[in-house]
Copies of this chain bind each other. A is one copy, B any other.
Amino acid sequence: MAKDRKIDVVILGLLSHEDLTGYDIKKRIDGAINFFWKGSFGSIYPALSAMEEAGQIKSYRADDSGSREKILYHITVEGITVLKQWLNEEQAANELKYETLLKLYFGGVEGTETTIHNIEIFERNIKSELEVLKMYEKNLKKEQDNEDHKYFLLTVMFGIETYEAYLRWCTKAKKMLRN
């Protein structure tokens, strides 16, 4: 795997469950993965080429001849090895990059009003994202028999726990700023 191109393992992970097109992969990433990882077409398609070159995945045309051109990818044994290697690496880059916190940190420049306003924008966004996560949670809990769904559910639960903490903090912070 290219040293720092983490999109590779996202792709390998998704392909370990089922064969997908680049377009499908993008849709998957925009779904339940979206809150902790992103990916654009401009990163996915070049990665697919490079990974096929490296023998980790294998492309084939969809054989339902009626439809338009569609390139499906299948993970190879080599690809599974790379995926497993990554899963067993000790270090994991966890990165929080919150512009809202940056604005808060420098809130003294503009004062209470602006800062509270910024917190409220954040609060609104988190509330709406939380609803999406709760919907995912509901759907996943229905199918707990599926082994993989257990893992998906855990990430969703992480998001819910975190976002609820954010909202508690919003309330506290606004109170503190208003004295």
Contact = CB atoms under 8 A, between A and B. Distances in A.
Interface of A: 6, 9-10, 13, 16, 32-33, 35-38, 80, 83-84, 86-88, 90, 92-110, 114-115, 118, 121-122, 125, 147-148, 150-152, 154-155, 157-158, 161-162, 164-166, 168-169, 172-173, 176-177
Given A162-B166, A166-B162, A83 B109 contact: yes
Most buried by B among A147, A150, A154, A172: A154
A41 to B, nearest CB: 19
A100 B90 CA distance: 10
A161 B169 contact: yes
Contact of A93 (B10, B99, B176): B99
Contacts of A95: 38, 95-98
A109 B38 CA distance: 21
Residue among A16, A106, A148 facing the most chain B CB atoms (10 A cut-off): A106
A116 to B, nearest CB: 11
B161 A165 contact: yes
A168 B173 contact: no
Contacts of A108: 147-148, 150-151
A27 to B, nearest CB: 15
Contacts of A176: 150, 154
